[in-house]
Amino acid sequence: MTEYASEGFRASVKPVLEILAGIPTVVYGFFAALTVGVFFRDMGDAIGIRIVSESALAAGVVMGMMIIPFISSLSDDIIMAVPQSLRDASYGLGATKSETVRKVILPAALPGIVGAVLLAVSRAIGETMIVVMAAGFGANLTINPLESVTTVTVQIVGLLVGDQEFDSAKTLAAFALALVLFLITLCLNVIALVVVRKYREKYD
């Protein structure tokens, strides 16, 4: 959209992406529960596959609908921020537009794009409302996306509801889940830092 789309197309699509990126997650969850989950259930019934209305598939599709506009909007701003001098220098050396995008613009913007992806993934990992409304609340250890599942954040909320003693089993389990969530986010940050440092060395 940044490099190939026309000005009219970009002027109409960019605001739509920003609106989608700013919609509250509870709205996405409501949409998933009433529309997407029911659609997948009916589609499964039509082809003879059992798909529950509250499934990991419905939650994953709606989660993608939430974070893809977020990544796209941020990445568009990051690519637009690449200095025009890099583009002009590439064209001056005889590179085509496609070569300029692949070998100059994307590598220059990669640290920012990685940061945008990391921010979106972190938002998805910490998401609660969509999963509660679209995938269910019960813990279910399975890799089948057609079944009802839950996430770490939902379990933390469930364990900490009501008055709990600090040293109770539920409170300690919630703290353990929070620690796991923290370690996952930390690993994602370390991976992003490695990628950013690797590509920044090319332009120092």
The pLDDT, as a whole number, for residue 202 is 53
Give the separation between CA 111 and CA 117, rounded to whole angstroms.
Answer: 10
Tens-digit pLDDT profile for residues 66-99: 888 888 888 888 888 888 888 888 888 888 888 8
102-140 residue pLDDT tens: 888 888 888 888 888 888 888 788 777 787 777 777 777
Residues 6+ apart with CB under 8 A from 67: 120, 121, 123, 124
Is this model's pTM higher than 0.75 or not?
no
| Confidence tier at 199 by pLDDT (50, 70, 90) | low
204 pLDDT tier (thresholds 50, 70, 90): very low
List the domain boundaries for the chain. Answer: 7-71+120-200
pLDDT tens by residue, 156-174: 877 777 666 777 788 888 8
Which is nearest to 40 in space by CA: 146, 136, 140, 149?
Answer: 146
CB of 124 closer than 8 Å to CB of 69? no
Percent of the chain with pLDDT over 90: 0
pLDDT digits (tens, 9 = 90+) for 18-73: 888 788 888 888 888 888 888 888 888 888 888 877 888 888 888 888 888 888 88
- Tell me the per-residue pLDDT of 172-196, one tens digit each, with 9 for 90 and over: 888 888 898 889 888 888 887 787 7
pLDDT of amino acid 86: 85
| Mean of pLDDT over the chain | 82
> What are the start-end ranges of the H helices in the chain?
7-22, 25-31, 37-47, 56-80, 84-92, 97-100, 106-125, 129-135, 152-159, 169-200
C-alpha atoms less than 13 angstroms from C-alpha of 184 in its C-beta half-sphere: 14
Compute how many other C-beta atoms are within 10 angstroms of the C-beta atom of residue 120.
21
Flag whether pLDDT at 201 surpasses 50. Answer: no
